[in-house]
Chains A and B, each alone.
Chain A
Amino acid sequence: MSDHKTMTLTLIVWRQKNANDPGKFETYTAKNITEHHSFLEMLDCVNEDLIYAGKDPIVFDHDCREGICGMCSQVINGAPHGGQDRTTVCQLHMRKFKDGDTIYIEPWRARAFPIIRDLIVDRSALDKIIQAGGYTSCHTGGVADGNAILIPKPVADEAMDAAECVGCGACVAGCPNGAAMLFTGAKVSQLALLPQGKAEAAERVKSMTNAMIECGFGNCTNHYECMAACPKGINVKFIARMNREFLKAQFA
């Protein structure tokens, strides 16, 4: 057995009872944390202590804890998901921190994402963007033969790169304007690239970008903070592609 050196950390965590509560930072001490803990397990430990002390645990979103569902959502020391390249909070490990560190933990902050409680925000605005056109409305019929529609490999790859988006909203949290362009760009591109999605491409890009505004997201100013925040490495080339699709749609 390796010896388990433990660390003690100071956490400064955003606590807010509901959307109307002004909210404030509270300071906690995380004790007996090893480098093997994940960030969320570290919070589990802190919450256990809080519960034993009769206090409200820190409320945060999580589900798969293996980096694929997009539920976890925390801004750590100013960086969505903690700032480690292509890593969700649940995949961030305490070996990245050292004994005595002070860590700020905040929720996604954007007008379109009202805070529900503590670190949980309401991300249904992203669903509204999808509902506005993030689908194809073709009749699917029976199961089609594989390769009945031929798609060149580079095109399939490009669509797959866009489809990696897990809808976590870190791009919005990272954007100083609270814009949802990387998310929407990924969804618009994924469908516009493929033959099944091309038929409705013009209508789709218009209604999905309209939904962005109606949901209260800001506009893009090409800071590229979204790309730095994205745990799935979605490239801003998909924003450029969406801009191109939008221009094309004006003449469709």
Chain B
Amino acid sequence: MQFTSSSIGRKILMAITGQAMVLFAVVHLLGNSSIFGWLNGGINAYAEHLHSLPLPIIIGFRLALLAMVSVHIWFGIQLTIENRGGRPQQYAVKSTQKATFASENMIWTGSLLGLFLAYHLAHFTFQVISPDTAALKHLVPLHNEMVPNVLGMVVGGFKNFFVSLIYTGAMVALFLHLSHGIQSFFQTMGWSTDKSQPILVKLGTLVALGFFLGYVAIPLTIFAGILKG
């Protein structure tokens, strides 16, 4: 049997692609946090750094991420369908001991993340959601050159209650997905033991909480008027 049709092989592919996205989420959060001013020039300077990378690196990075997301979604759906069939008839009394809301709803929190991903790209990458604040169309001076006003676009977006709400809701889904996913990664890769596994469950939830707080800090501080454009 092929690795890609085996039970554990597909699970390992889910784990590796999921964890690669977690690593991306770490870098992305660190980059976004430049909006709070630790980088000279703020998020506009950060965005300019990224876009001045050699084109092949940018394209390669985007293709790699696209591949991760595609593999993760493909096997996520395939395994979920198979697993729903594993117990065709449910018990009259449901009494789960260890499964959690997060572990039972990975496909739904994942689907929400997939929809959010599409919205997020349309909003800040392709900039088609609110064209009047699109950064590519509003250049501002930075260190003697004109650069896209990413700060203006982000602040303009998050002043809107519904936009902030969508982002906050998506981060709740991210928290749930990762509170199960991070520890699951170590178990799937075979890196957890009887001693580390219960600790990894707690640590994974803690890291997921860190992602949630870190990411929602941006829309929240903007909507509350603390962070201004």
Contacts and interface: CB of A to CB of B under 8 A. Distances in A.
A222 interface: yes
Given A223-B103, A237-B193, A239-B187, A78 B83 contact: no
Given A79-B95, A222-B180, A175 B7 contact: no
A218 B96 contact: no
A179 interface: yes
Interface stretch (B8-16, B38-46, B153-161): B8-16
Contacts of A112: 86
Given A109-B87, A111-B86, A175-B87, A228 B98 contact: yes
B57 interface: no
Contact of B191 (A110, A216, A240, A242): A240
Most B Cβ at <10 Å: residue of A178, A216, A240: A240
Given A209-B6, A213-B7, A247 B189 contact: yes
Interface string A35-77: 0000000000000000000000000000000000000000101
Contact of A243 (B12, B86, B93): B12
Interface in B16-36: none
Contacts of A174: 97
B52 interface: no
A218 B97 contact: no
B194 to A, nearest CB: 4
B93 A77 contact: yes
A218 B85 CA distance: 7
Interface in B60-90: 79, 82-90
A79 B184 CA distance: 23
Give the interface SS of chain A, mostly helix, strand, loop or mixed: mixed
A221 interface: yes
Interface string A215-252: 01111111111011100000111011111111100100
A175 B86 contact: yes
B189 A110 contact: no
B82 A219 contact: yes
B86 A177 contact: yes
A12 B184 CA distance: 37
Contacts of A83: 95, 97
Given A176-B104, A209-B8, A241-B190, A110 B95 contact: no
A206 B88 CA distance: 26
Contacts of A32: none
Most buried by A among B5, B91, B92: B91
Contact of B98 (A217, A219, A223, A246): A223
A242 B187 CA distance: 10
A78 B94 CA distance: 5
Interface string B191-223: 111100100000000000000000000000000
B173 to A, nearest CB: 17
Contacts of A191: none
A110 B85 CA distance: 9
Contacts of A79: 95, 97
Interface string A165-176: 000000000111
B202 to A, nearest CB: 14
Nearest 9 CB-CB pairings of A with B: A218-B86, A244-B190, A178-B86, A78-B95, A228-B97, A78-B93, A177-B83, A243-B190, A223-B99
Given A206-B6, A250-B3, 12 more contacts: A106-B93, A109-B89, A110-B87, A111-B87, A176-B96, A219-B79, A228-B97, A240-B192, A242-B190, A243-B190, A244-B190, A247-B12
